[in-house]
Chain A
């Protein structure tokens, strides 16, 4: 337990009167890939946004490296070492690839390493190097996702949160992205991953949580859940294939 990076303890989150999360608790260990899976509207993205400080919980607490996160604004959370790649990527479409990357290194502790981070980003994503002066909005979907991840890495995060990185990508590109996530993790980045592509996500995750209508329904190792008949039925679609 001593290498616990993030701990979410019993949080409730509301959008106005609508409760989006009820008593949600998760744990992320240092160096792991943790996946959050579940249907649309289960509260996965809300959980990421709450950890990132974009939303505030009304109850419960969040600890990151044993420091409380609740009440901190998004930019303070980012400065502590948590970076969210939001759903839809959140790129600065009218800024160039290079400007997007530079903005990724905005957190104070990342600024000093700007050049080495840039070199590493170009080594991981050679395609971005070819397009440094193009506008981010002019890239293809897969390249945009790579840029979003590269930009997040510029902050040298202790925890990288990815919200639906494979959304809208072709199966081939999507596979590349999952391989990339795996590589990043092997190089030491802790990753909290939200995915609709349950099959792929559970394959690479050491630990996973299944969410349903705002609460945690099941948890276990990725392979355990992948083998679980309930999970298979609900999210991988055995039952639906019959009809």
Chain B
């Protein structure tokens, strides 16, 4: 048991070390690999966000794109309207990025109180889907403040290299995964899993169900919002179509389920795997790439219901 733990810790450290070295062995500004890994890091963060609320706490949210967009828009609005003061440096400002996680978390709490106290299971899923649409309409109709349909253009003058994007992305992916690990080892994580298993039993053992559901929703929103902020700084043009795209609500689910939801490394594996599938499908089947992704989901659900991570224990059993 202990040996396995040391082995996994070593393996993870080695992979992270490898990822740190990668940019020094390729041409960062031209390499497709860097872009691929950068997107995979963003996917890891949003997948871990969904993993908390959907995987561990069992509240199937279909509205994570609302938080992704809110994060990106928070960054853009603070930047464009100069809300951190005129002298501030907005480019990769840690305060701004954290704020871009806090705003979606607060929205998740406000919306979560009526949504999670009244709706369960499929109904909550549909309710959260509605949330995504409401937020999108809100930004489309937001006039000058949100830039309406055209969105907000960030000043791109500061851009010099892809390197900071790569490392900030890597840092966030590591922090999100370590964060999930520690949350799930704590009493909070145990409460999340208990609620997922049996709500009535959890509440009659003293667990405040609504509180923990909202907490899981807010933590997931925080992760997703920070990822949205990084993506916003990357694309420089934050608009409803780019950041409030429902893909950012569906991808994390796909990645979690594929890799193994309610596990620490499942979402990470799923994110890298799907990022790879997207790349290959886009190059070889540009028009039908969503069909390939869709077919993959069906195959995974049929043959690997516990995801890639679950394969190991299934193989050991056979």
Contacts and interface: CB of A to CB of B under 8 A. Distances in A.
Nearest to B195: A92
Given A93-B197, A95-B193, A106 B203 contact: no
A83 interface: yes
Contact of A92 (B187, B197, B206): B197
A75 B201 contact: no
A86 B203 contact: no
B257 to A, nearest CB: 16
B212 to A, nearest CB: 10
A57 to B, nearest CB: 17
Nearest to A95: B193
B284 interface: no
Given A106-B205, A106-B206, A155-B205, 15 more contacts: A53-B203, A54-B200, A75-B203, A75-B204, A75-B205, A75-B206, A78-B203, A86-B200, A90-B200, A91-B197, A91-B198, A92-B201, A95-B190, A106-B207, A107-B205
A75 B208 contact: yes
Contacts of A79: 206
Nearest to A154: B205
B70 interface: no
Interface residues of B, number: 17
Contact of B193 (A78, A92, A110): A92
A21 interface: no
Nearest to B197: A92
B194 interface: yes
Contacts of B198: 90-92
A243 to B, nearest CB: 39
16 contacts: A54-B200, A74-B200, A75-B206, A75-B208, A75-B209, A78-B203, A78-B205, A83-B204, A83-B205, A86-B201, A91-B198, A91-B201, A92-B197, A92-B201, A104-B205, A106-B191
A121 B207 CA distance: 21
Contact of B203 (A54, A91, A95): A54
Interface in A138-166: 151-152, 155
A181 interface: no
A107 B190 CA distance: 14
Task: Please list the 3 inter-chain residue pairs (A to B) with the smallest Cβ-Cβ separation, ordered nearest first.
Answer: A90-B201, A78-B206, A74-B203
A92 B196 CA distance: 9
Contacts of A152: 205
Interface string A41-57: 00000000000111000
Contacts of A113: none
Of B193, B198, B206, most buried by chain A (CB within 10 Å of CB) is: B206
A75 B190 contact: no
A182 interface: no
Nearest to A52: B204
A94 interface: yes
B21 to A, nearest CB: 37
B54 to A, nearest CB: 15
Contacts of B206: 75, 78-79, 106-108, 110, 155
Contacts of A106: 187, 191, 205-207
Given A75-B207, A103-B205, A94 B197 contact: yes
Nearest to A48: B204
Contacts of B207: 75, 103, 106
A99 interface: yes
